[in-house]
């Protein structure tokens, strides 16, 4: 995302970094691997959703 309103940017940041699931990737030393991971979790269209069945381990 190159441009966006403050409201859009805050919504994306909250969805990416303040939800129930976290992803740690900053320890990855290979820049290409780190960029690959970052591209898949950050951004406007990267929302992760689960069905009720997938959320429950039982």
Tell me which residue has tokens 């591209």: 39
Nearest 5°: the CA angle 30, 35, 39 is 155
Confidence check: pLDDT of 56 > 60? no
pLDDT at 55: 53
Confidence check: pLDDT of 15 > 70? yes
**Residue 14: CB partners within 8 Å, gap ≥ 6?**
none
pLDDT at 29: 93
Q: Give me the residue spans of the domains in the chain.
A: 23-52
pLDDT at 18: 81
Q: What is the dihedral of CA 45, 41, 7, 10, to 10 degrees?
A: 170
Which carries the bigger pLDDT value, residue 42 or residue 9? 9
Q: How far apart are CA 38 and CA 48, in angstroms?
A: 14
């Amino acid at each position: 995302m190159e441009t966006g309103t403050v409201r859009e940017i805050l919504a994306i940041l909250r969805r990416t970094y303040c939800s129930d699931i976290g992803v740690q990737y900053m320890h990855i030393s290979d820049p290409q691997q780190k960029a690959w991971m970052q591209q898949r979790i950050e951004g406007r269209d990267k929302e992760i959703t689960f069905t009720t069945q997938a959320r429950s381990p039982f």
